[in-house]
Structure 1
């Protein structure tokens, strides 16, 4: 007979989840977790499998995994005589690593998908040692039928969160699991001890640089009442003034710029144009740890007298088919016009969708509007050499080699030979190539030697001031017979978005809006959900779908988060956490 009265009470008196009570069945801690599980839509019935999320591409290079791996191995060895498994999850309850001592237990854990890549958050699985510990921020012990979902009643698990020793935030979790019939409350203490060991490892590997930067960060905060930001070991943080100064899109932009400011440079102060359209002045202070860079401190202020942007005027584009008056785009256009006039072969380097081919076409038309142009895609699966010869034999005076960084070594040499032969003939064609921003791809390229120079085409997020002009031009092309003007509030959303797909994504967004609103004024509701999000990391397809559902629900509920959580069937706490994780702003 079971000698544990608390466990016997759960076993004999458990009623359906809809009637669970915090007073007559389990401890209030477990009952509260059951309540959250129920609100999240988890069905406890074993005939209904739990909702599962799986990520195949786990980041096993992150510092958490590197620090935790030897501790998991040691704990695995210490528990070699016991039927227990030890696991590491990230801060989102995604299982990263698992160490098993018993093949029978391992098979049982696999059968309930407690394995690397699967998510064991409370809102997906219900009460469990991983999700409940992360939800509460405390070490927990969940025994047998205390698990909300019947599928995992056979297990007992203990979970202990791992906290960042500098910032205090949760970085991940240590879980120890076994069969319920062999459970021992000491599992919680073992998990807690292992979590503390990982925290110590994090402190010893990252603390030297982070502590140095943190000291300078605090000194900067005391020195001046301005917004202060720091970046060290991948951790970006701000003081209270900084947290209020920028919106999520602008802060994400500054975080990206901070990474570029870690490199060697004599620049100590600069001005940055934000996606929102404003400008900030940034004082840069590199923090060094011996010969290495420990991080960077940024003191940020808005200019006291920003230039008025109330005067709007339209000007003809410098190159046909393109538009923009920002310094970045103007510089790029002028350089290309100058090179076109001398037939200097040019590589246009930039992110996909940034307008590289548009610039090449525009420069050709600017130079000789009557002559044809030929575009050759350098897809290695196609007959690139043959199509290039055909282009050079045609009447085209400009030949664009698209994505030359995709050529393998054999094709690179073959295409280089064809281009070299053309350049020795008369008249030689003007050759323009496009390439990604990955500089390593062309380091050993024979073809690259046929070009005079390289022009970097700016990503759209680096010249957001051009967004209104690009929109006007594109709307004139997409809906020439329609008055499809964009209101100021929608324009602000479009200017603040980070545009990972650049101009191509902007065009697709306008097409989406025009389809959503065949007639009438386009509003923010007509834009794709992604434009209301600024995530801090690349999201999985599942997370993107989840983000879109949340944005749609918030829009339909007029921004009311309580109503949105109810319509989505999830707990308000889960909704708030996801809004923060996905960087949703409405």
Structure 2
């Protein structure tokens, strides 16, 4: 880092910036420009989003007419919302992808205000030449982490960005005050700190609100369809056909219902269709909550219905009582953009016949989403994509591991595959069979007892050691070679060799 870049910087800030630059070099962050990063779908606490929206809307009015972008990000650095009045700054931030749906984590965008605030869990100011990436050196960025008052975890950040030539010393103070105000508003809206962490609803993130305090439905952002990042990794004929059906329906302004198993990738399919159609705007997915939380759930995400180009994906409506489904149908049917056109939305269910009547009446087109087990050619490209997103670089998958992945049943669909891949790449730079769950290499049709499962797992682990033989595995396990062969047959174990 050039010494002149640290002129006027305190000793503590200098140490933090130097450490950040060193991390960026180690991560091989591109030094010339910020690459647009596809972030996929991420869980976001609706109380955090709405509290942040309220605080930043007030801050925006305070900064009216100033060339300052006011942003809310999640805990991974994904930009959720941006408030900005200045047209020149708006265009400039779009060029460097500091916009909703893009990641500005340190591993993606180098040393920057919000990335450093997340890395150090402390308010951070990065000015001009202090940025690691050259294309960001015309800005000054101030950011402060928002702490969840119930858990102490970082919920996200408040970020303020302006031109480096006109940056104000008050920028960091404003960001810090806004972050504290957001945390305080979260506390007020949840009635006080929770006694313990509670997971609410299937697939909720750790630290989600307890049942008494917040809607179980999740609100989360997906990168805009025009956004960048790699193309859809899935290229199977059935998947592409479904994507094209949704694309045609969206371009025609028709309401789509997607039917498919949990984890099949229904929201990802919508994102892919919007990207193909070059539709701009936020894609927001909302999972239905418990019966007593419908009002709070609707309040958390329906403001997005007024954003131009936004598209809402609502899932799990079959769990709603009739009155709640009617209320939701009314909200969706009457939603309008600023130009008066209907706001696009998509409904997803395991079976289209399960849609409540009021919502089914709004649907023009039903598209079946093929399960992952019927698309084996998509499994390895999807696994490589999940590995790249998790590690921020390519991770090798051996031919033997690829064979196991393709042959697996994937009852949990792409969601299960992502979890398996993330667990594997957290332990290795080259995924082999031994890094995968043992049950993926088993084809038994009957349910195994706990003891049988443990025995199967130990045999698979022994057999997947590089260069091992059945005889060597038997010796390691302390059983005869004949017993190993019998167990391989009984448990349907298939261990491909590289």
| Band the TM-score falls in, shorter-chain normalisation | 0.3 to 0.5
Bigger Rg, which one: 1
Which is bigger in relative contact order (C-alpha 8 A, separation at least 6)?
2
TM-score, normalized by length of structure 1?
Answer: 0.40
